Amino acid sequence: MATLTEAQLTDPVALTRALVDIESVSGNEKTIADAVERALADRDHLRVFRQGNVVHARTELGRDNRVMLAGHLDTVPIHDNFPSRTEGDTMYGCGTSDMKSGTAIALHLAATLTEPVHDVSYIFYDCEEVESDRNGLTKIAATKPEWLAADFAFLLEPTHGEVEAGCQGTLRAEVSTSGTRAHSARSWLGDNAIHRAGAILRTLDDYEARSIDIDGCLYREGLNAVGIKGGVAGNVIPDSCVVEVNFRFAPDRTADAAIAHVRAVFADFKVEITDIAPGAQPGLSAPVVSEFLATTGRPAVAKLGWTDVARFSALGIPAVNFGPGDPNLAHTRNEHVSCARIAECADLLRRYLTGEPQ
């Protein structure tokens, strides 16, 4: 049984180390969820709920606005980077960047922040690093949507201390060619589908990706081949070839618009959409968002990637990504985080939630 001490809960750096040292690869979050629930269960300022390995805590102080802090408890598989170790200002270990340092900040504030100027909801959830239908937020949105009600949400994913607004949408498609199978010794009797795929690759090579400014945030799109499948045997002319394509699209495009765009680009080919997740608009005009940007003293930038802020956006809740980890280190063997940045991000959120001046 893992237990988080009061000393750890009052120090977001020590709390990060404690969470990293609880192994919680996706699907194995019960121990860490138990520890989070025990840490918050007896706090007079909180109501605490549990469903599966999702822990929800909330203040009910009658404030005018409600702010949500959300962090996932799981990590990708360990790769010779467990438990944590610290060298100077740097903490190494699986999940240090993505995203136990951010989750630790949310847990630290949940345990210690008793009189925020906004009501605050906290969600600690499981299975973010795996398929969408296992994601704890997906399940809560379907079964306990009232837990996610808020005027503004922070997802404490790694952003290196920057405020990353909204997120890109993502689409995967299989673009196919067909031909006629034949013996490779008599290739003129066949039609090589892999050769035909050259037209798909030339289309991608010539594609001019769009950039668009939304609320002062520059979103850059991208359409790229990420895989190719074809071939029957070493002596057979192949009769089919599939190029897997990934389209990262700006949040001003709906899912339907993104699908229509990809089909138009590959109008001469068979296109099968295999996966799509719409993006999230920045939502920076909401007063509660403007207040936080004033606290940081820095403008928001576009989130180039997909995150769970899209789930909040789908519910009509403005959301930003904000966390101490470096996204470039996520999922790497050498994953690490700056201890000073953990403290800095925790301090910014505390000042915002308590209404302290800059």
Are the C-beta atoms of 50 and 32 separated by less than 8 Å? no
Cα separation, 274 vs 294, whole angstroms = 41
Q: For residue 219, what are the β-bridge partners?
A: 212
Peptide bond into 68 cis (omega under 30): no
3-state secondary structure of 200: helix
- Which residues partner with 276 through β-bridges? 171
* Exposure class string for 224-233: b at 16+ Cβ within 10 A, else e: ebeebebeee
Q: What beta strand segments (E) does 83-180 contain?
A: 85-87, 90-92, 119-125, 152-155, 164-165, 169-178
Which secondary-structure segment (H or E) carries 35?
A: helix 30-40
Strand 240-249, strand 169-178: pairing: antiparallel
The upper half-sphere exposure of residue 113, i.e. CA atoms within 13 Å in the direction of its Cβ, equals: 30
DSSP state of 247: E
Could you give the residue numbers annotated as active site?
74, 128
User: Among residues 116, 115, 134, which one has the least CA distance to residue 126?
Assistant: 134
Phi, psi of 258 (to 5 degrees): -65, -45
